Amino acid sequence: MGNEGTATSAADVGPVVEVKNLRFTYPGIDGHPPPGSAPLIDGFSLSLRAGDRCLLVGTNGAGKTTILKILGGKHMVDPEMVRILGRSAFHDTALTSSGDLSYLGGEWRRDVAFAGFGVSIQMDISAEKMIYGVSGVDPQRRDELINVLDIDLSWRMHKASDGQRRRIQICMGLLKPFKVLLLDEITVDLDVLARANLLRYLSKECEERGATIIYATHIFDGLEDWPTHVVYVAHGKLQLAVPLEKVKEMSNLSLMRTVESWLRKERDEDRRRRQERKAIGLPEHEKQLEGTRVTGDPARSAVQVMNNGWAAGRLHSTVAGQENFFLSSNRVLRQ
Ligand SMILES: Nc1ncnc2c1ncn2[C@@H]1O[C@H](COP(=O)(O)OP(=O)(O)OP(=O)(O)O)[C@@H](O)[C@H]1O
């Protein structure tokens, strides 16, 4: 990640994931961001190299899923803002069709891409048929995944438990040897053993094949030494992007407790800000417009309507130690 050093055994061929000043607003019903809407993601920059395992943390609604979906090419942004393997995630559809870029999360919770169709995960079909239905797969890789996820090929999707179904989905999502994997909390239903085995397998993928993974989760069980980097996002803005060793230098607490302390600090700052707004007669919360945060004078910001995703100012996030940072008023973590 950046020049901070990475735990990769792969040849260093520059950034695999490069996000530069990402700015994004969800479109309204007319396909454009509502007039006066403030970007949901703003000034977000990130650079990851082959072998990096990045843990993406933040409160509910911070923007993690939105960021992962943008990186997965599911929302259009300016091609220069998001480069995956040097290509535009949204515009270069071969990135995902080849399996080089894989996104597991979101809608994927309800169905799974199967032979080119979205197949309901509840239909009467065997695990074997689902998994073997994916063509062009290395049989050895398939066997290893079936083993890692401890899948019984005779399971039938409509009768399987949530966790069993999830294992089949994860297996299918990992069959192609991805170069970049975006995981949006997919382990919720997994038992402790399945989750531990999966995390170990994913580490191996990064160490041996130089794959790059970004994983958004609220579950810290088994994650203490899993990531090589930690990225903290709040209100759509990057707060912190550092190697795990730096996080450990910053705090003696466990990873979960450290992240908890960041989120607590953020919440306290939010509360203080709301009280300040209330004290001067403003509504506690900024006005919402069709799911998009609205700030400032709508008439003035209307010029941004046709400019969805255009670059904002550069964000600098440098953190040397927990005692040295604070959440500034524009929520950028500074030294
Ligand atoms: N399709 C959409 N249209 C408009 N706003 C949306 C849409 N999807 C999400 N949002 C808003 O974007 C913000 C960020 O949502 P997002 O799902 O990215 O957060 P998150 O960090 O993944 O949260 P969680 O931890 O709860 O999964 C939220 O305020 C949400 O209401």
Percent of the chain at pLDDT > 90 equals: 54
Looking at the predicted structure, is the pLDDT value of residue 323 above 80? no
Q: Which residues neighbour 233 within 8 Å (Cβ) at sequence distance 6 or greater?
A: 44, 56, 57, 58, 62, 63, 64, 67, 239
pLDDT at residue 287 in the model: 60
Between residues 50 and 134, the one the model is more confident about? 50
Range with the lowest mean pLDDT among 13-22, 44-53, 75-84, 282-291? 282-291
pLDDT of residue 229: 96
The ligand 1 atom at the shortest distance from the C-alpha of residue 233 is 21
> Residue 260 corresponds to which amino acid?
E
Judge whether residue 49 has pLDDT over 60: yes
Lowest model confidence (mean pLDDT) among 21-25, 35-39, 195-199: 35-39
Average predicted confidence (pLDDT) for the chain: 80
pLDDT at position 327? 34
Of 64-78, 94-108, 232-246, 260-274, the least confident: 94-108
Give me ligand 1 centre to Cα 270, in Å.
Answer: 18
Q: Is 47 in the pocket of ligand 1 (CB under 6 A)?
A: no
Q: Which of 285, 287, 291 is nearest to 271 (CA)?
A: 285
Q: What is the mean pLDDT of residues 263-275?
A: 92
pLDDT at 189 over 50: yes
Nearest to 71 by CA among 97, 39, 95: 95
Whether 330 shows a pLDDT value over 70: the answer reads no
Atom of ligand 1 nearest to the CA of 58: 21
Going by CATH, does the domain composed of 15-100+179-334 fall within 3.40.50.300? yes
- Ligand 1 neighbour 188 (Cβ under 6 A): no
**Residue appearing with tokens 């032979």:** 115
- Ligand 1 atom nearest residue 62's Cα: 21
Regarding predicted confidence, which is higher, 214 or 117? 214
Instruction: Give yes or no for a contact between 282 and 288, defined as CB atoms under 8 angstroms apart.
Output: no
Every domain of the chain with CATH number 3.40.50.300 lies at: 15-100+179-334
Query: Is residue 296 very low, low, confident or very high in pLDDT (cuts 50, 70, 90)?
Result: very low
Pocket test for ligand 1, best of 24, 64, 71, 107 (most atoms within 8 A of CB): 64
Report whether residue 66 contacts ligand 1, using a CB cutoff of 6 Å: yes
Q: What mean pLDDT do residues 58-76 have?
A: 93
Q: What is the pLDDT of residue 139?
A: 95
37: Cβ below 6 Å to ligand 1? Answer: no
Q: What is the pTM of this model?
A: 0.81
Beta bridge partners of 208: none
Buried b (16+ CB within 10 A) or exposed e, 134-166: beebeeeebeebbebbebeeebebeebeeebbb
Percentage of residues of the chain with pLDDT beyond 70: 76
What average pLDDT score do residues 284-293 get?
A: 58
Please give the pLDDT value at position 23.
93
Question: How much is the ipTM here?
Answer: 0.97
